[in-house]
Amino acid sequence: MYTQALNAKDASAGTRPEDTARLAVFQSTVDAEDKIEPNDWMPDGYRKTLIRQISQHAHSEVIGMQPEGNWITRAPSLRRKAALLAKIQDEAGHGLYLYAAAETLGVSRDELYEQLLSGKAKYSSIFNYPTPTWADIGIIGWLVDGAAIMNQIPLCRCSYGPYARAMIRVCKEESFHQRQGYEIMLTLCRGTPEQKAMAQDALNRWWWPVLMMFGPSDKDSMHSADSTRWKIKRFSNDDLRQKFVDATVPQGQFLGLTFPDPDLRLDEESGHWHYGEIDWSEFKRVVAGDGPMNKQRMAHRRQTEADGAWVREAAMAHAEKRRQRAAAARIAAE
């Protein structure tokens, strides 16, 4: 999902003997569905996994503003423009909630941000695809945010309190994102033949990359055991992907669109939609940095960061000047 790169194996954290008792308390808290809070003792591996997962999620929200930002000035009406602006502002907010949650684990936002800018930290592969048409904005809301919701609803019950609380806020807002996207698709599909063709073209381009958002297939996924025991992850990648396909196919059919998968069929017995094989080589390529837009996304992020530096510096200098003046006035008054 937004944290696909987590599916790489990481050196397993050794447990010190003196931690055994604390580990037992920690695990029983988790097993009882109680929350772990920032100052509670936690195993190193739990802390590391959360920092990586939450920061990758935050980076994805931040980079995810770019494909949609591409259309703010070209939205087809004032209503659409206002909605798109509000949605993108929400994504910035999601990034901030998540950085704040990560910081409770003892890492600074600046450090995390540095990892994004240096390319050390990953973000979701989905934001490395281009948005050449207005229908792409509909698709992002309907499918990309839709997939994100599927992944994030179980995270609202994650064992780490600050992450769970951030996800509750995020999920409330995502529903607006998905509905506005679907409404764009509906309008296009009920429009002219050219508009409908634009909607179909967008679905053709995005469907497979969206399915990849859920991460590698369970048989190739590394991190699940710890994350499951710690109640960070509650459903496997393939389970979430299946849920998403089952929920989404009927919505696409309602639009009168077809999915670019000749193997897609309803399995009468299980009630699930069976889908074809995902091209994992494409997934690996895009996660590794070689997707259609990786270079541009990172270049844009770094440029924005550099362009904004003087604003942050000026704000800090102004605050410092006011602090000094206030201190001087206090001394003069004494």
Partner 1 sequence: MTDKTPMPLWEVFIRARSGLPHKHCGSVHAPDATMAVQAARDVYTRRGESVSIWVVPSAAIIASDPNEKDQLFEPTSTKAYRHPTFYDIPDEVGHM
Q: Please say which residue, 177 or 231, places its beta carbon nearer to Fe ion.
A: 177
86 touches partner 1 (CB under 8 A): yes
Burial class (CB in 10 A: 0-12, 13-18, 19+), 40: middle
**Helical residues (DSSP H) of 275-293, grouped into ranges:** 280-285
CA–CA distance, 258 with 66 (Å, rounded to integer): 27
37 touches partner 1 (CB under 8 A): yes
Whether 270 and 246 have beta carbons less than 8 Å apart is answered as: no
93 touches partner 1 (CB under 8 A): yes
30 touches Fe ion (CB under 5 A): no
Report helix, strand or coil for 270: coil
Instruction: Kindly tell me which residue out of 105, 148, 150, 166 binds partner 1, with binding defined by CB under 8 A.
Output: 166
CA–CA distance, 33 with 27 (Å, rounded to integer): 10
State in angstroms the smallest separation of the CB of 89 from partner 1.
Answer: 7
Query: Hey, how many other C-beta atoms are within 10 angstroms of the C-beta on 211?
Result: 20
19 touches partner 1 (CB under 8 A): no
34 touches partner 1 (CB under 8 A): no
Instruction: Kindly tell me which residue out of 68, 103, 136, 145 binds Fe ion, with binding defined by CB under 5 A.
Output: 145
103 touches partner 1 (CB under 8 A): yes
Tokens of 257: 């669109």
Instruction: Kindly tell me which residue out of 54, 148, 158, 167 binds Fe ion, with binding defined by CB under 5 A.
Output: 148
Instruction: Kindly tell me which residue out of 23, 72, 85, 100 binds partner 1, with binding defined by CB under 8 A.
Output: 100
Backbone angles phi, psi at 240, to 5 degrees: -65, -40
220 touches partner 1 (CB under 8 A): no
Q: Which amino acid is at 42?
A: M
Per-residue binding letters, 297-326, with partner 1 (x by CB under 8 A): --------x---x--xx-xx-xxx-xx---
* Sequence-separated (6 or more) residues with CB below 8 Å from residue 94: 58, 61, 170, 173
Tokens of 175: 């529903």
Q: Which does 315 bind (CB under 5 to 8 A by kind): partner 1, Fe ion, none?
A: partner 1
Question: What's the count of helices (H) and strands (E) in the chain, helices before strands?
Answer: 13, 2
Q: Please say which residue, 36 or 98, places its beta carbon nearer to Fe ion.
A: 98
State in angstroms the smallest separation of the CB of 226 from Fe ion.
Answer: 25
Report helix, strand or coil for 176: helix
Task: Point out which residues bind Fe ion (CB under 5 A).
Answer: 61, 91, 94, 145, 148, 174, 177
Residues contributing to the site for partner 1 (CB under 8 A): 37, 39-41, 86, 89-90, 93, 96-97, 100-101, 103, 108-110, 113-114, 165-166, 173, 305, 309, 312-313, 315-316, 318-320, 322-323
